[in-house]
Amino acid sequence: MRKLLEGVSEFRRLRRSAYRETFARLAHGQQPDALLIACSDSRVAPNVFASTQPGDIFVVRNVGNLVPAPTEPPGASESAGLEFALRRLEVSDIIVCGHSSCGAMQALLAPASDLSRVSAWLRHAAPALERFRAGVRLPGDWTGADQLSQLNVLAQLEQIRAYPEARDRLNAGRLRLHGWWFDLVNTELRDYDAPSGAFVPLDEQRVQTILARMNANLDKNMDAEPSRHSPQRRTGR
């Protein structure tokens, strides 16, 4: 807490004035184009590894970066966030971001009797655990918990695909899903590469390739559906 309070003080002294214009603009509404679903873990810092700024991403964070299946009873914050991001913010991209040395994945492999609420929550990772126990492995020299963590990112993306609002947008080419995984030891953000079935470094070359593909698809979509890209399409809350 001491670090937080000193940070508030430092922000007011050194950076607040530089952010005034940004927040004054954002006060009229947010227009993030991506939803990030990440683990609550303090070491997963998208503001650092993706250089994000206020207004850039709509964020849902929880223990294990999980999304309850759409068949679960309504009321979960995660499904509410997903619904709002798609139906109101009209985000074009959803990223599920897992990470190495994830305590949630370790708890999934070895449930602790004094973490009953954590265990109950981790039922949303059951599909990944089933695959892991069946021997499914992704390429790479990863620990068991890290393997499970990567399988979990993919399982959560599948769970997102099952939501009608996501499925419709995916079918219409208006939504992209991404699996990211942050390797703490190597400070390496990885991106799931479907052709190789592996999480590969999201290095400059891969970023440029993805951006080029996005630009090509944007041109195609603009020809087919110009109204979607009008500036009025998102109006904030």
Beta-carbon contacts of residue 177 (< 8 Å; ≥ 6 apart)? 93, 94, 95, 96, 157, 160, 161, 166, 170
Only one residue has tokens 């993030």, namely 32
- In terms of CB distance, is 64 or 81 closer to Zn ion? 64
- In terms of CB distance, is 39 or 50 closer to Zn ion? 39
- In terms of CB distance, is 102 or 160 closer to Zn ion? 102
CA dihedral angle for residue 179, residue 182, residue 186, residue 192, rounded to 10 degrees:
0
CB of 138 to Zn ion, least distance (A): 17
Cα angle, residue 68 at apex, residues 73 and 63 outer, rounded to 5°: 125
57 DSSP β-pair partners: 34
- Interface with Zn ion (CB under 5 A): 39, 41, 102, 104
CB of 18 to Zn ion, least distance (A): 32
For 200, the enclosing helix (H) or strand (E) is: strand 198-201
- In terms of CB distance, is 40 or 196 closer to Zn ion? 40
- In terms of CB distance, is 50 or 104 closer to Zn ion? 104
The DSSP code sequence of 141-180 is ---HHHHHHHHHHHHHHHHHHTSHHHHHHHHTT--EEEEE
